Amino acid sequence: MKKYAILTLAVLGMASCSEKKFHVEGSITNAKDSVLYLENIGLMGPEVIDSVELDADGKFSLAGQASEAPEFYRLRISDQIISLSIDSTETVTVNATYPQMASQYEVSGSENCAKIKELALLQMQLQQRAMAVSRDESLSIDQSNDSILALVRQYKEDVKRDYIFPDPSKPYAYFALFQTLGNSLLFNPRNDRDDVKVFAAVATSWDTYYPDAERGKNLHNIAIEGMKNVRSIEASQSRTIDASKIQTSGVIEIALTDNKGQQRKLTDLKGKVVMLDFHVFGQKESPARILALRELYNKYHAQGFEIYQVSLDPDEHFWKQQTAALPWVCVRNDGSNETFLTLYNVRTLPEFFLIDRGNNLVSRSQQIKDVEQEIKKLL
C-alpha cells in the first residue's frame, strides 16, 4: 500500500511539473501592502488567476496556465491597469511605480506586450486631446463634434497602418480592435463598412493561425454580423425616399423607446425649447438632480419647455420604476446605440444640452453658467 501511495504521488508530481505555465514578474514600487492582481480578460469578463500582496520593494512573480492561442491579461492595483498579451509559456517582466503604473511602466520579454503598451499610451493621448476639445468654450457644439470625429478618424488610420494591417494575426492587432473612447468602440463593427473590413482581416488571420480559438470564432461572428448589417443599411438607403418626409435639423437625431413602450424622436419636439439630458438613475446624485429638473419643468413647461431624458441605466425594470411618475420624455439607451454618446461627445454623466425651438443645438452644460437664464432666453 505504501509503494502504491508513493507511486501515485510521484505521478501527480510529474503531471504538475508538466503543466505549461507562463510567468509575469518584476516590481511595482511605492505600493507597499497593495494587492496586485493578474487577471485573464476573457470573452465573459475579467477573472483573477493569481495575486500577491506587495512588500516595500514591490517585487512580484505571478503565473498562469498557458493557452494554445494568445490570451489577454492585465496587472491591476485598484483602477490602475497594465494590459498584457501572453503567447504560450513566455516570461514577461514589468516594472512600474504606483499610482502611475498604467501610463509609466517598462515591459520586456514580449513584442506583443510592448506593442500593446504603445497602443495604450496612444489611446490615453487621444482621450486627453478629445477632452481638451470638449472643454474649449470657444468652439460651438458642431465644431467640437467635428474636431473629435476628425481626431478619431486620424487615430484609426494610424492604428490600421502601424498595428493592424502589417500583420493582422498578431495579438496586438486584436487588442487594437477593441480600444474605446469613453464608452464607445473606436472601430465600429456593427455598421461601418470600413471598420467591418478591419475586423474581417483580423478574423481571417485568426481563423488561419488559431482555428480552434474561441476569440477567433467570436471575431469571425462579429465580422459576419457586421457585413449583414452594412448590406441591410445600404439596401435601405438605396430605396427611393419621399422628399416630403425629409427633415432638416440642427441636432443629431435620437429615436428610442420611452418608458411606456412608444418610440420617441428628438426631432419631434421641434417648436419647443428642449433640454437633452443624459442621465443614470443608479447614481447617488440622481434624486437631487431629478428634483432640480422637476422645478425647471414645472416652472417653464407651460411656456414651451420640454425635457428629453436619455437613461443609461442597464436595468430596464429599475429605470421604469424610477421614471414612472416623471412628466417629461423618458427614453433608455440599452447599449445598442453607443454612437449617441460619441456623436454628442458625452464624456461624463450626467450631461445635458439645450436645443432651441428650431431644433438647433445651442449649448452644452460646460458652456452654461445659469441654466434657468439660458432657458428663459430661448423661450
Q: pLDDT (tens digit, 9 = 90+) per residue, 175-206?
A: 999 999 887 889 988 878 889 889 988 988 88
Using alpha carbons only, give the angle 161, 150, 342 rounded to the nearest 5 degrees. Answer: 105
pLDDT category of residue 140 using cuts at 50, 70 and 90:
confident
pLDDT of residue 183: 74
Q: Which amino acid is at 230?
A: V
φ, ψ for residue 84, nearest 5 deg? -140, 155
Residue whose entry in the numeric block shows the C-alpha cell 447617488:
284
Q: Which of 247, 252, 300 is nearest to 278 (CA)?
A: 252
pLDDT of residue 341: 73
Q: pLDDT (tens digit, 9 = 90+) per residue, 242-263?
A: 444 434 445 778 889 999 999 9
Cross-sheet strand order for the sheet of 105-108: 59-65, 21-29, 91-97, 105-108
Mean pLDDT of the chain: 86
pLDDT of residue 89: 84
CA distance 244 to 85: 54
- The residue with greater pLDDT, 233 or 187, is 187
CA distance 175 to 112: 10
pLDDT of residue 234: 65
pLDDT category of residue 38 using cuts at 50, 70 and 90:
very high
Task: Provide the H-helix boundaries in the chain.
Answer: 2-18, 111-135, 141-159, 171-177, 193-209, 214-238, 286-300, 316-323, 339-343, 371-378
CA distance 202 to 175: 10
Q: For 153-168, give one letter per residue: b (16+ CB within 10 A) or e.
A: eebbeebbeebbeeeb
pTM of the model: 0.62
CA distance 177 to 200: 11
pLDDT of residue 45: 85
